[in-house]
Each structure stands twice: as C-alpha cells, then as structure tokens.
Amino acid sequence: MEQGGNLEVAEKVAPRHRRPQRVSTPMIVGLAVVVALVACGLTIALTSGGESDGNNTAKPKPSVSIDPDNPLSGKTFYVNPQNPAAQNYRQLKNAGNTADAEQLNKIASRPIAEWLASDDGQTTERVTALAAEADKAGQTAVMTVYFVPDRDCGQYSSGGAADAASYKTYIDEISTGLTGHDAVIVLEPDAIAHTLDGCITDEGQIKERLGLLTYALTTLKKNPEVRVYVDAGNASWIKDLDRMVAALKQVGVNQADGFALNVSNFETTDASVDYGNQLSDALEGEHFVIDTSRNGNGPYTETTDDQKWCNPPGRALGTPPTSDTGIPKVDAFLWVKQPGDSDGACRDGEPAAGQWWPEYALSLAKAST
C-alpha cells in the first residue's frame, strides 16, 4: 500500500466481563425524553470520548446518536487492549515513564481498525475472535480488508493473495467469521485508485481487480449487520472525478454502505468532506467515512518529492473516531491507519511498512491536543 498499513490481525485476547448496571430513575426519564423527541422527527447526537483504566482497557462513555440516514449511528467502535499502542503504553507506564505513557494513551485508548492483510490459515478464527471481543465490550469492530492480488503495485506494502481464486477464498473466510456479528469493513485501500493512476495498466488485470472487489462487497454484505465502505483514495489523488465515479459504480458501490476516503493519508477533514461530497453527488447521495488518524496538521507540504505521504514529520493525530460527525453524508470519522505504524522504509533507518514505530507514534501524539 502506498500509504502503508498494519499487516497483521491482532491475536485473540481473553474475554472481558462487564457487571450489570442498574438504571436509575433519571436515566429512565432521559430515555423517555429521547423517545419522545424521536417521535417528533428530531435528531439527537450526544457523544463523548472514551476513558482508559489502569490496564488501558477502554471504557467508552455512552453514545446516543439518532440519525436514520446513518447506518453507523449510535455505534461505538472497538478498542483492542492488545493493539501495539496499548502494549507500548503499558511498557512505558511500568517503566515509570509516565509522561510518554500519557501521550501514547492518546492512541492506545482509541478504537483503531484491524487490518486483514495476511493469510495464516486461521482467518475465520481470527475474525470471529475479534468480532466476539467487540461484542462483549458492547462495541463494533472496524476491519480493513487489504489482500487483493498485486496490492500496492509492488511498493512498500506489496503482497496480497496469490491469485483471484485465493482472494475469493480469503473473502469467504472473513464472511464466515463475521456470521452473527456486526462490523465495519473498509474494503481494499488503494485498489481502485491504482487502476486509475497508471500504476496498473493491463486491462485484463484491471477488469479482474474490479471484479474481485465486487465479489468481496457482495459476499461481505450477505451478513446483514456488516457495513462495507469501498476505498476511493483521497482528496489529492484522483482528480478526475468522473473516472473514480465510473470505477466505483463498476464495483457496485450502490450495494455498499458507501465509500472510504483518506486511508493512511494526511488530507484535512475539510478537504476530504469537499471531495467526498462531490463523489456523493455523482453517486446519487452515497455516504462515506474518513480516516482522520493522522490528519491533525494536514498533509506535509515542505517537500515536492513523492515520499511526502511516507512517514512525514510534523504530523498530528486527527479527530478521534466517532459515528457522530455532525456532517451530512459522513457516517464516521475512523482511525483506519494505526497511528505509529510505519508507512514503509522510505528513508534510511525507517521501519518496514506496517511495523510499529514508537518514536513516530509519540511524535504524532505530542503534536496533537
């Protein structure tokens, strides 16, 4: 992947149990008010960020968002206590480095997508375990499917399935693992954009790739509680909107829940919303999600080289993940990219794509509020 990404799904973690909570009289009254307002056709959005306990296990505060047009409305996303940031946080805290631990907790306490990007023969089991852990936490898992053949055009995150048949089997295994669970899927970052930017030029390969995306979309959507957003690049990439719209239609974006923007990139939220609205208008109002994981300071503009997207300095964490964006057609701000994972070994001494890089993670956290 040109922008890099996590290359492994987190290992299965021990279940967490929650105590039953009594509902107080004021809470009952509050719920009655919400119901009354819904009956009147009003929209309510009440959100707050999550907290972290001593074990860095997220304790999300209640989120109520009543928006019938947003399929993610009211959802809180899964915070995996075993993600690299959480593990690093505990290491720092145990070592007495409370200052850096506090900074890193800005990442560790947030929901971040798990990348399905390799096949070890345990795909169904891994997906089931992840979705089940999210269920037990009362949350929704976010996953990024990143396994299309010849992904990233042989660049830093090259790889993917060996062939079309292997890819379809992989998708089938993911779909089986999601049976009975809800989830949000970001489908194949860069896959469409690379068929439009000259990276993939063979017409047969382009046709096969778009067909595989259609297969993935329709297969995953057989699960009624799974929401799928097809990747559509970012605001500075494919400027010819007509070509992107045509490719999205060919894939069958109308069968999805929408499209995804800015995955692993740094474009501002405003720029992403503008770009997304233009695509949406041409797609009969399709909704979209935006990766805000590292766009707090926007894109790196102090260089003209083609590496400005790869581990650029001076970037910051963006808006925390939420399904209550306050923006029509924007179903969620997500952290699709794991902040702190390298985009690739694009300069001397930089880690390989998808490798956890504590120093870069801290720089992102310290630059954010």
Q: Find the angle CA(121)-CA(126)-CA(128) to the nearest 5 degrees.
A: 125
What is the span of the domain harbouring residue 244?
Answer: 58-366
CB 157 within 8 A of CB 353: yes
Residue 204 lies in a domain: yes
How far, in Å, CA of 86 to CA of 74, rounded?
25
pLDDT attached to residue 42: 35
Per-residue model confidence (pLDDT) at position 221 = 98
User: Does residue 21 fall inside a structural domain?
Assistant: no
Q: What is the pLDDT, as a whole number, of residue 304?
A: 65
What is the pLDDT, as a whole number, of residue 307?
72
Q: Has residue 223 been placed in a domain?
A: yes
Q: The tokens of 101 are what? A: 């631990």
Q: Is residue 28 part of a domain?
A: no
Separation CA 244–CA 54 (nearest Å): 46
**355/87 Cα distance (integer angstroms):** 14
Q: Does the active-site annotation cover 343?
A: yes
Residue 69 one-letter amino acid: D
CB 217 within 8 A of CB 175: no
Q: What is the pLDDT along the chain (369 residues), one digit of tens a residue?
A: 543 443 333 333 332 222 223 233 333 334 343 334 333 343 333 333 344 443 444 444 444 546 889 999 999 999 999 999 999 999 999 999 999 999 999 999 999 999 999 999 999 999 999 999 999 999 999 999 999 999 999 888 999 999 999 999 999 999 999 999 999 999 999 999 999 999 999 999 999 999 999 999 999 999 999 999 999 999 999 999 999 999 999 999 999 999 999 999 999 999 999 999 999 999 999 999 999 999 999 999 887 666 788 999 999 999 999 999 999 999 999 999 999 999 999 888 999 999 999 999 999 999 998
Catalytic pick from 67, 100, 150, 152? 152
3-state secondary structure of 66: strand
* Token pair belonging to 197: 């930017």
Rounded CA separation 295/353 (Å): 19
- Tokens, residue 248: 């999205």
pLDDT of residue 267: 97
Q: Which of 150, 291, 331, 343 is catalytic?
A: 343
CATH number for 202: 3.20.20.40
Residue 369 and residue 363: Cα distance in Å, rounded? 12
Does residue 120 lie in a domain region?
yes
Longest dimension (CA), the chain: 65
Q: Which residues 6+ apart lie within 8 Å of 83 measured at CB?
A: 10, 108, 112, 338
In-domain check, residue 233: yes
Q: What is the pLDDT of residue 60?
A: 44
CA proximity to 333, closest of 271, 296, 274, 288: 288
> Which of these is catalytic: 150, 190, 257, 291?
190
Q: Clarify whether 172 is annotated catalytic.
A: no
> What's the gap between Cα 321 and its chain centre?
9
Q: Does residue 73 fall inside a structural domain?
A: yes
Q: Per the structure, how many domains does the chain have?
A: 1
- The pair of three-digit structure tokens given for residue 258, joined into one six-digit string: 């929408």
**Residue 190 is among the residues annotated as catalytic for this protein:** yes
Label the pairing between strands 226-231 and 58-60. unpaired
Can you give the pTM of this predicted structure? 0.83
> Is 11 within the bounds of a domain?
no
Contacts by residues 147-152 (CB-CB < 8 Å, ≥ 24 positions apart): 147/116, 147/117, 147/118, 147/119, 147/188, 148/188, 148/191, 148/209, 148/212, 148/213, 149/208, 149/209, 149/212, 150/200, 150/205, 150/209, 151/1, 151/188, 151/190, 151/191, 152/1, 152/2, 152/190, 152/194
DSSP 151: B
In the numeric block, the tokens 């699709």 are attached to: 336
For residue 114, the cross-strand partners are 143
